[in-house]
Structure 1
Amino acid sequence: MKRNTVVCRLVGTLFMGLLLSAGCALHKPLMKPATVKVQGSEAAFRAGEIIDLETGASVDFEAMMGILQEKDLVFLGEVHSDPEHHLMQVQILQRWAEDQPHPVIAMEFFQVTQQDALDRFLAGDLGEAAFLEAAQWDAEWGFPYHYYRPLLDLIRAKRGRILAINAPRGIVKKVARSGIESLSPEERAQIASEIDFNREAHREYVQAVFPLHPGHGGTIDFERFYQAQCIWEDTMAENIARFKLENPGIRIAVFAGSGHLRYGFGIPERTLERSPATAAVVLPYPAEPDLVLDRDLADFIWLSRSARGASGRHPGHPSTGHAGGLSWKP
């Protein structure tokens, strides 16, 4: 009851009525056409349902959380521009952090250079406005802060830790335009010490979305674009793994764009290679007509309502320019 009350209060803060019609009912299936299926199964699912992809069956929120609570690492995806995905993340974090006095989360949305501002904010040395200015939120991330505020406020209230894990954006942009060989020794030292550009399945996935990305055919070519993606993902993985190794037994919830998590590509497998651990991936995912989900896409899929734009495509669907979270900005 307490958790549901908090979620209801956050709805107004997060979305200013956008999801008011849904209220606190995201734990229950929304009444949508049952059009979503899982590969190899005839069962059909609708928006609001949580799917365990290993079994191909619908599970309730508490069943999913029972599994997530046993993992060392929980990777939570999002389409950055989808408010419903952020509400799902809030509910998961609230439940996941209930039994932890000082929970630790890692966020793609902050670069390592912003860690000091984050620490000062969590310690109470900076108010919200001063924190956003110090972190240069609008310039460095740009998506509405109120989507993320409940996550930060929850960790702050529990005196937890937020890890800024992303590579400096300026370095990633430079690589996307000029290649990793263009980095100075000082710049190279700010990204992962080991970067793997030779993962064929990952390369194919990124290549499939590259033509729809800003800058395609103009300021960047695919090889440099792919280098930038790997730098992002290996740097985030290295920062998570380093913290895990330095703090044995610590559980971490990782928040990142779904494109960095799908199929275990990107952050999850690169983290686990550096620091073996039990892990699970949860992806909010738009319930599109006739969608068939691959079983190896994630561990759990939480179906959101379709949020199709004028193009008829979901803003974070793999067939769009956002590429489900591969969010390089030219």
Structure 2
Amino acid sequence: MNSLFRKFCLSSFIFYLCGLTSSQASEDPLLETIWDIESGKVIKHEELIEHFLGSEVIYFGEKHDNARQHEIQLQILETLISKGKRPSIGFEFFTIGQTSLLMNFTQPYAPIMNMKSKDQNPESVLRQALGWDHRSDEEWSYYFKLIELARQNQLPTFATDIPWGLSSRITRVGIENLHPTELSLLVDTGLNDSEYEELMLQEFTNAHCGYRNEKLFRRMYQAWIARNDAMAQSIVSTLEANHQNPVVMIVGFGHLRHGMGIPERVAYLRPETKQINFFMMEISQELSSFESYLPEFEINGRTFRQDFDYLWFTPRQDTEDPCEAFRKQYE
């Protein structure tokens, strides 16, 4: 496998399950509707908020590059704050060691903690410290708006993912070949089985435009499990330290699917936790029924369902198929 395709695989793994893009069904009746999955009925925004108010952990499952979904996240957080909630906000996109950078910005205790320098404003300093100065301004703005909201309201913020270098190492050499120090950074919930692994290998294949490298994808699966376990532990640790206030987790929707994602791992670590799995989904290219958005998958007689509690349909972000662009490189 050449280096170009390897880079594509590793990059796609980070952003995988964001969904293929296509033309916008602008008049889709599902657009901007909110569904209660259990009842199969449309609910109002106010009803959704009422459900959130009684939860300890709320997952905001996103497609990372969808601007409308980030608007919804900000809107809901502002509403929760206006109703007296002081959530801790967790981010998939930042690694655990970066929590101190986030907290220094959102809860400064001294002038030096404002992270202000003579030449740069605090936002620029934070962005550079987090390693986001190479990303687009638009992508940064999606998450900084949430961080800034936390700063304005003195809310705790925390990072949840394993270090990128560790994730990359697992993908390249496998957990069995890690250094003991690297292994000490991992959490194991034990939620791992052959059927789920096969399902995720198929997901990886789809995300990589039909290409499948068995050995590479099995190492990617190890990294996937390690990331989910670490994020679950970060959530539980935050909740146990301040259980009076909820946790809101900003995370890609792939980490919440199939009944084997982060919510199930949190439940394993802290069974009494009240959780809500809220997912924002882009509408399909063609007009589709509500039920078609919740496919079930069967592996060796075991059925995997989309275990979301609430679903909000949003516009598509763009119309370009990333697989088509990739194929053209080999024409």
TM-score normalised to structure 1 length: 0.75
Computed over aligned residues only, the root mean square deviation of the Cα atoms, in angstroms, reads 2.9
Distance 1:112 1:259 in 2: 20
Q: Shift of the alpha carbon at 1:214?
A: 5.1
Q: Shift of the alpha carbon at 1:196?
A: 3.5
Distance 2:145 2:203 in 1: 31
Aligned to 1:299: 309
Pick one of 254, 269, 272 that aligns with 2:267: 272
Aligned to 1:77: 61
Distance 1:305 1:312 in 2: 18
Q: Shift of the alpha carbon at 1:233?
A: 0.2
Question: Does the Cα contact within 8 Å between 1:140 and 1:169 map onto a contact in 2?
Answer: no
Distance 1:81 1:190 in 2: 29
The question of 1:165 aligning with 2:125 is answered no
Aligned to 1:5: none
Percent identity between the two aligned chains:
25
1:169-207 Cα offsets, whole Å, 9 max, x none, are 11011101110012111111122144543263x324422
Summarize the alignment of residues 105-124 of structure 1 with structure 2, pairs less than 5 Å apart: 105-122=89-106, 123=108
The question of 1:86 aligning with 2:70 is answered yes
Pick one of 187, 190, 195 that aligns with 2:185: 190
1:93-133 Cα offsets, whole Å, 9 max, x none, are 11122234643111111101111211211125221111111
Change (3 A) 1:248 1:231: same
Summarize the alignment of residues 244-259 of structure 1 with structure 2, pairs less than 5 Å apart: 244-259=239-254
Greater mean deviation of Cα atoms: 184-193 or 146-155 = 184-193
Q: Shift of the alpha carbon at 1:217?
A: 4.4
Pick one of 233, 238, 241 that aligns with 1:243: 238
Pick one of 40, 44, 47 that aligns with 2:31: 47
Question: Does the Cα contact within 8 Å between 2:49 and 2:80 map onto a contact in 1?
Answer: yes
Q: Which amino acid aligns with 1:208?
A: Q
Pick one of 125, 129, 151 that aligns with 2:114: 125
Distance 1:71 1:156 in 2: 23
Distance 1:173 1:312 in 2: 22
Q: Shift of the alpha carbon at 1:307?
A: 3.6
Aligned to 1:211: 205
Change (3 A) 1:174 1:139: farther
Aligned to 2:283: 287
Change (3 A) 1:242 1:141: farther
Change (3 A) 1:226 1:142: farther
Change (3 A) 1:284 1:194: closer
Question: Does the Cα contact within 8 Å between 2:94 and 2:159 map onto a contact in 1?
Answer: yes
Distance 2:322 2:132 in 1: 30
Q: Shift of the alpha carbon at 1:139?
A: 5.6
Change (3 A) 1:211 1:138: farther
Q: Shift of the alpha carbon at 1:142?
A: 9.3
Q: Which amino acid aligns with 2:60?
A: L
1:253-312 Cα offsets, whole Å, 9 max, x none, are 111000001244321110111112111111110121225132844111100113452339
Change (3 A) 1:193 1:33: closer
Change (3 A) 1:100 1:121: same
Change (3 A) 1:75 1:101: closer
Structure 2 gaps of 5+ residues are 1-24, 116-121, 295-304, 327-331
Aligned to 1:224: 219
The question of 1:149 aligning with 2:144 is answered yes
1:3-44 Cα offsets, whole Å, 9 max, x none, are xxxxxxxxxxxxxxxxxxxxxxxxxxx97233xxxxxxxxxx
Distance 2:159 2:55 in 1: 21
Structure 1 gaps of 5+ residues are 1-29, 35-45, 314-319, 321-330
SS in structure 2 of the partner of residue 170 of structure 1:
helix
Distance 1:312 1:230 in 2: 25
Question: Does the Cα contact within 8 Å between 1:104 and 1:162 map onto a contact in 2?
Answer: yes
